[in-house]
Amino acid sequence: MNYQLLTINQELSTNNPVIDIKNLDHFFGKGTLKKQILFEINLTLYSGEVVILKGPSGSGKTTLLTLMGGLRSPQSGSLQVLGQELVAAKPKQLVEIRRNIGYIFQAHNLLKSLTARQNVQMSVELHNHFSASEIKTKSIAMLEAVGLGDRVDYYPHDLSGGQKQRVAIARALVSHPKLVLADEPTAALDSKSGRDVVDLMQKLAKEQGCTILIVTHDNRILDVADRIIELEDGRITVNS
Ligand SMILES: Nc1ncnc2c1ncn2[C@@H]1O[C@H](COP(=O)(O)OP(=O)(O)OP(=O)(O)O)[C@@H](O)[C@H]1O
């Protein structure tokens, strides 16, 4: 046993929370229509982990994912993303945190009028420290990494569902975010394409050392996870 390596790995996983949530509640609606959706969520995600979030429809998975992604404002408790507190954060701070996160959704959300490369480039252009030629090179390299080196100039309508989702993965990972949030990334795909897509996400996440959280109903992909979290009626019931 290499104890030095073990210690380093332990330090890496315990010292680097990418997400740290404490006593988070969330409500929708106002007055008599006010309804609590999330209850006392406590959850820490560490650097380099692939985590699956599952649970019945309506249990609060997407709500939790959008809170972690700075896509809606958390109301109480504490939610830290990459060391930044999002409870009571200003809209500008949420925008800033979103730059450090890659998002992959069920519908790939590619822009129809842009080629695969241009769709990927858009995400790098948010980071203004790269030159135009660097951005182009990075985008092509990322499309090659997802197996679409021969499709860089194709428009979305000329790509299959699985290929479009691979472009979305390239777009999410091209700027090497520390966190990738994926909401039902395989829902619109057949089982083979779905499998390929999650295998690819896992491989790239491990190569880049980023944390990846996948919300899914798809029991066929559970084995890609280092950890599975289960939500039921807005509460975490499994964290293993
Ligand atoms: N913007 C909103 N306003 C009011 N209620 C909402 C809103 N968004 C979600 N809800 C409610 O919050 C609950 C949790 O929804 P959420 O989409 O987070 O669940 P989910 O586990 O992701 O479900 P699914 O697996 O069906 O996508 C549901 O009862 C839903 O109706």
Q: Is the CB of 71 under 6 A from ligand 1?
A: no
pTM: 0.87
CB within 8 Å of 198: residues ≥ 6 apart: 185, 186, 214, 221, 224
Residue nearest to atom 2 of ligand 1 (CA): 28
Residue nearest to atom 16 of ligand 1 (CA): 60
Q: Looking at this protein, which amino acid is placed at residue 24?
A: L
Residue nearest to atom 28 of ligand 1 (CA): 58
Select from 137, 136, 187, 180 the least CA-distant residue to 161.
187
Residue nearest to atom 5 of ligand 1 (CA): 28
Residue 92 CA to ligand 1 center (angstroms) comes to 25
Backbone conformation region of residue 88, classed left if phi is above 0, alpha if psi is from -120 to 50, else beta:
left
pLDDT value, residue 15: 59
Please compute Rg for the chain using Cα positions.
Answer: 18
Residue 63 CA to ligand 1 center (angstroms) comes to 6
Select from 150, 73, 66, 65 the least CA-distant residue to 115.
150
Residue 65 CA to ligand 1 center (angstroms) comes to 11
pLDDT value, residue 42: 97
Q: Is the CB of 60 under 6 A from ligand 1?
A: yes
pLDDT value, residue 128: 67
Residue 54 CA to ligand 1 center (angstroms) comes to 14
Adjacent-strand bridge partners of 105: 183
Q: In what order do the strands lie in the sheet with 211-215?
A: 101-105, 179-183, 211-215, 50-54, 227-232, 235-239
**Inter-residue contact 77 to 24 (CB < 8 Å):** yes
Rounded to whole angstroms, how far apart are CA atoms 56 and 86?
A: 27
| Nearest ligand 1 atom, CA 217 | 25
Residue 60 CA to ligand 1 center (angstroms) comes to 6
**Reported CATH class of domain 46-72+98-239:** alpha beta
Q: Is the CB of 164 under 6 A from ligand 1?
A: no
Residue 154 CA to ligand 1 center (angstroms) comes to 35
Domain boundaries, the chain: 46-72+98-239
Q: Which of 63, 68, 235 to mutate to test the pocket of ligand 1 (most atoms within 8 A of CB)?
A: 63
pLDDT per residue as tens, the chain (240 positions): 444 444 444 444 455 799 999 999 999 999 999 999 999 999 999 998 999 999 999 999 999 999 999 999 999 999 999 999 999 999 888 888 998 899 988 776 899 999 999 999 988 877 767 888 989 999 999 999 888 999 999 999 999 988 998 999 999 989 889 999 999 888 877 888 888 888 888 888 888 889 999 999 888 889 999 999 999 999 999 888
